Amino acid sequence: MKLLVTTYMESPYFEEFRGMFDTIVYKGMMKIGRVLTEEEMCEAIKGCDAVVAEFDPITAKVLEAADNLKVIASPRGGAHANVDVKKATELGIPILFVPGRNQDTVADFTIGLMIAVSRHLAQGNHLIKNGVITDEKPYNENGFCVTDVNWVGSTPEKFAYLQFKGPTLSGKKLGLVGYGAIGRETAKRALAFDMEVVAFDPFVKQETVTQNVKLVDLAELMSTSDFVSVHLPVNDGTRGIVSVQMLSLMKPTAYMINTARAAVMDYDKLITMLKNKEIAGAGLDVYPIEPLPADHPLLSLDNVVLTPHIAGCSYDPYDRSYQVLAEDLKLFFAGKKPVHLYNPDVWKD
């Protein structure tokens, strides 16, 4: 049997895949450091029994070119991002996936963004490295010095200790818009910071919540939270749910964090609020346009921390993904139903 791998595969599970296939062909990320085009995928997938692809397009055209494909293995939680699920299902091709593969990774990043924007970590780093609050005379030797507030600057604008105060997380309220796997992991970390945590999720009932988290409606969450963090997938029920009306409810001292998807929020309204200081700030990892154009208004705001859609990016999710995929591939090739099927309707018991 032949396996096509177009994404990174560097883990202890590497040998397990070798044991399942006679031939493994590496394309894309492993070879050229980029995602394959649709045409390149059409060519690469010919004659392959299985494919492991994370970002490369597995479109209807690619699936039609796959003359021997038996299974698709996606090392991500949302295979629909790059796989034509409807077409694969029509062709009877199972799609394996890894739900919650990076839930702790994104939760870590979310807390990091909260601290980075509210305590001015990113802004302080930028100002020092760009010489804005450096090179002011006289210098003070840090240690047993006359004053412990050395970075005073020559003007109030450069008095760092006064300019960059921010809220302590302890005692503040975090509102989670979405209480799935990532939301729960974020709540776990926020509770460890002694925060109060509330969540909005119409698919979760309070009696099933095992954490010290109170479920509330979205309007209450938006109007009472000191930090609002979005953890929703994009579908017909969530698209635009953090609307103009909902954003308008936020407190002027509150911060917006989005490590999920841009389509669930009205970014035009968010940008206006940030410009007018109607909220304190935002930490954003996702955008309506990616990459951001050079003239995008978010780039000129000093109360925003921006990261290039990397909240789910760490070493650990790959190990987790390949462990799950290897186990499910073994089941599949043994004629047994895999545990994690993205299109379960394709499986006939």
Q: Which of 234, 242, 238 is nearest to 269 (CA)?
A: 242
> From CA 333, how far away is CA 170, in angstroms rounded?
51
With vertex at residue 178, the alpha carbon angle to CA 220 and CA 186, rounded to the nearest 5 degrees, is: 105
The full length of the chain comes to 349
Amino acid (1-letter code) at residue 158: K
Candidates 10, 39, 136, 290; catalytic one: 290
Amino acid (1-letter code) at residue 268: D
> From CA 247, how far away is CA 268, in angstroms rounded?
11
Candidates 231, 261, 320, 340; catalytic one: 261
How many Cβ atoms sit within 10 Å of the Cβ of residue 96?
26
Question: Beta 196-200 vs 227-230: how paired, if at all?
Answer: unpaired
Contact criterion met (CB below 8 Å) for 342 and 88: no
296 is catalytic: no
16 is catalytic: no
290 is catalytic: yes
* Residue pointed to by tokens 């949302």: 78
Q: Which of 215, 265, 274, 214 is nearest to 239 (CA)?
A: 265
Amino acid (1-letter code) at residue 233: P
With vertex at residue 294, the alpha carbon angle to CA 292 and CA 296, rounded to the nearest 5 degrees, is: 65
Amino acid (1-letter code) at residue 142: N
Amino acid (1-letter code) at residue 16: E
The pair of structure tokens assigned to 248 is 């308008």
Q: What is the helix (H) or strand (E) element at residue 290, kind and residue range?
A: none
Candidates 220, 296, 309, 327; catalytic one: 309
The answer for residues whose C-beta is within 8 angstroms of residue 134's C-beta and 6 or more apart is 128
Q: List, by residue number, the catalytic residues.
A: 261, 290, 309
